Amino acid sequence: MMSRLATLGRINVPDWAFYTLAAGLAGALIVLAFLMRPYNAAAVVTERELVVQGAALADLVNGPGTRVRFDPAHPDGPVARATAAASYEIAGQMSAGVAAFTPDEFETRIAGRRIRVEFEVRASGPNGPDSVYIGYFTSGYGDSGWREQAVSQQYTTVSFEWDAPPYEGQTFNESIGIWPDPDGQNREVLIRRIRVYLLSEPS
């Protein structure tokens, strides 16, 4: 009797089933942890380089005429999916497009130096755009202006170099922008990486 009472309320599961269930539960918890991770991961900043990739792409913002959506589960890896509903000709001079803000500790180093701006990007599908515009934008001491770059369905690192003017002010509010569809037809591009590299010492 005691042995029967002792087993009441318990389920006897074979060892093989228990370990299978435990492994499945552990795997599910790992997946859930990745899905619930915060998307405000900081960009990587070194003495000469700023890199925005992975979860940091979730912090991209869209200016008027553009849209952006972070896709952490894309087969290419984490990407930002960007489109434009307005053409570059109409809205490109009034907006920084889809942009990453430059961290404070890096933007103070830009003025008076030659920089290289890079986007690793591709068109999404056969009907995607065949070019994008990219640029570096500052508050108060000049912008690089938009630079048109060819893209395809394969990832390409498009880039340009720019001599940032000297600046003695204390206000910085800088960004790296991309206009994803010059024709404004909502054709999508995938952004996998943004990089700014300091090529020269301060002038």
Highest mean pLDDT of the ranges 18-22, 36-40, 193-197:
193-197
**25-29, 67-71, 190-194: segment of lowest average pLDDT:** 25-29
Between CA 141 and CA 110 the distance in angstroms is 11
Q: pLDDT: is 38 or 109 the higher one?
A: 109
Pairwise pLDDT comparison (46 vs 94), residue with the higher score: 46
Q: For position 162, which CATH number holds?
A: 2.60.120.260
Residue 6 lies in a domain: no
In a domain, 146, yes or no: yes
Assigned domain for 2 exists: no
Give strand pairing partners of 118.
159, 195
Residues 37-56: tens digit of each pLDDT: 334 468 999 999 999 999 99
Is 90 among the domain residues?
Answer: yes
Give the whole-angstrom CA distance, residue 152 versus residue 120: 11
pTM above 0.75, yes or no: yes
* Separation CA 24–CA 101 (nearest Å): 40
Q: Within a domain: residue 17? A: no
Residue 188 contacts by C-beta under 8 Å, 6 or more apart in sequence? Answer: 81, 82, 83, 123, 124, 125, 128, 180, 181
Residue 100 exposed, middle or buried by CB count within 10 Å (0-12, 13-18, 19+): buried
* Residue 58 within any structural domain of the chain: yes
Residue 112, CB-side half-sphere exposure with 13 Å CA sphere: 9
Number of domains in the chain: 1
Domain extent at residue 107: 44-198
DSSP state of 127: T
